[in-house]
Amino acid sequence: MKKELTIRQKSKIHSALFLGGAAVIVLGCWLSKPLEPHFLVWMGLVPFFGSVVYRLTAIRCPHCGSNMAGCRFLPKCCPDCGKELEETP
Ligand SMILES: [Zn+2]
C-alpha cells in the first residue's frame, strides 16, 4: 500500500535531488582536469536535471493541478486557485 506524498514531502525530495546533484557536480568539477570533466560531473547531472523534471511533473497544486515551477519557494497557497497547498492527512 503506497501513500500519496504531500506537496511538502515532494518539495523536500526535489530539494534533496537538486542540492545533492549540485554538490556532486561541484565535487566533479573540483576533481576534473582541464578540458576533461570528471565522471562525477556526469553522475551529478542525472539527479540535477531529474530534480527539474520532478519539479515540473510532480509538484502540482492538489486542487487545480497548476505547477509551481515558477515559484522560487513553495508558496502557502496556490498562485492560480488561491487554495491552501498543505493537505490535511
Ligand atoms: Zn491551485
Asked whether residue 66 is domain-assigned, the answer is no
Number of domains in the chain: 1
Cell of 63: 486542487
Question: Does residue 78 form part of some domain?
Answer: no
Mapped onto helix, strand or coil, the DSSP state of residue 60 is strand
> Is residue 13 in a domain?
yes
Q: Is residue 37 part of a domain?
A: yes
What pLDDT, on a 0 to 100 scale, did the predictor assign at position 73?
76
pTM exceeds cut of 0.85: no
Cα 11 to ligand 1 centre (Å): 16
CA–CA distance, 66 with 83 (Å, rounded to integer): 11
Q: Which positions ≥6 away from 83 have C-beta within 8 Å?
A: 61, 63, 64, 77
Q: If we measure between CA atoms, which residue out of 20, 62, 14 comes closest to residue 45? A: 20
CA of 23 to the centre of ligand 1 (A): 32
How many angstroms is it from 75 CA to the middle of ligand 1?
11
Q: Is the pLDDT of residue 82 over 60?
A: yes
Q: pLDDT tens digits, residue range 28-67?
A: 999 998 888 899 999 999 999 999 999 889 888 888 988 8
Q: Which residue range is the domain that position 33 belongs to?
A: 7-58
Would residue 43 count as lying in a domain? Answer: yes
Distance CA 15, CA 43 (A): 17
Asked if residue 12 is part of any domain, the answer here is yes
